[in-house]
C-alpha cells in the first residue's frame, strides 16, 4: 500500500494538490501508477479541489479524522506549528499518509511542499 498524504491551505487548487503529489512521488522515485490512495484530513476530503485531484491521479480519496491523525503524531518527521495551532496535530500530510497506509506504515521521508500544499508518501500494509 502506497499512500500520498496531503495537507493544504484552505484555498488550494486541484492543480496544486496534483503538483505536490507528483513532486513527492518524483522525490522518492515512486511511479504515479503505484499510488493506492490520496489521504487528507476529513474536513477537506469533500472539497472540490481534493475530489478533482483524486480523480486526476486516478486514486480513491480518504478523509482521516483529527483523532486518528493524532494517534500517529509521534511518528511524523516534520512537525508544523500551523497544523498544530489550527488542527491540533503536528502534521496533516505525514499523519494522513501514515494512517492511510496502515498500522505498520512508514514514511519514505519528510513531506514535500509547494506554496499552498504539502505531501508525504507512506508505504505499509493497510488493513
**Rama region for 41: left / alpha / beta (φ>0; ψ in -120 to 50; rest):** beta
The residue written with cell numbers 506549528 in the block is 81
pLDDT tens digits, the chain, 127 residues: what are they?
Answer: 999 999 999 899 999 999 999 999 999 999 999 999 999 999 999 999 999 999 999 999 999 999 999 999 999 999 988 888 888 888 999 999 999 999 899 999 999 999 999 999 999 986 5
Cα–Cα distance, 65 to 112 (Å, whole number): 22
Give the predicted TM-score (pTM) of the model: 0.94
Within 10 angstroms of residue 51's Cβ, the number of other Cβ atoms is 14
User: Hey, what domains does the chain have and what are their CATH numbers?
Assistant: 2-123 (3.30.420.180)
State residue 126's pLDDT score. 66
Residue among 85, 92, 89 nearest 45 (CA): 92
Cα–Cα distance, 102 to 1 (Å, whole number): 8
Amino acid at each position: 500500500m502506497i499512500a500520498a498524504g496531503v495537507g493544504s491551505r484552505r484555498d488550494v487548487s486541484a492543480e496544486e494538490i496534483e503538483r505536490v503529489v507528483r513532486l513527492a512521488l518524483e522525490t522518492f522515485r515512486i511511479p504515479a501508477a503505484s499510488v493506492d490512495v490520496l489521504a487528507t484530513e476529513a474536513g477537506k476530503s469533500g472539497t472540490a479541489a481534493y475530489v478533482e485531484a483524486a480523480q486526476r491521479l486516478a486514486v480513491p480519496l480518504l478523509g482521516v479524522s483529527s483523532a486518528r491523525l493524532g494517534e500517529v503524531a509521534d511518528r511524523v518527521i516534520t512537525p508544523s506549528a500551523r497544523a498544530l495551532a489550527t488542527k491540533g496535530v503536528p502534521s496533516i500530510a505525514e499523519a494522513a499518509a501514515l494512517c492511510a497506509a496502515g498500522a505498520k506504515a512508514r514514511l519514505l521521508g519528510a513531506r514535500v511542499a509547494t506554496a499552498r500544499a504539502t505531501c508525504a508518501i507512506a508505504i505499509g500494509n493497510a488493513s
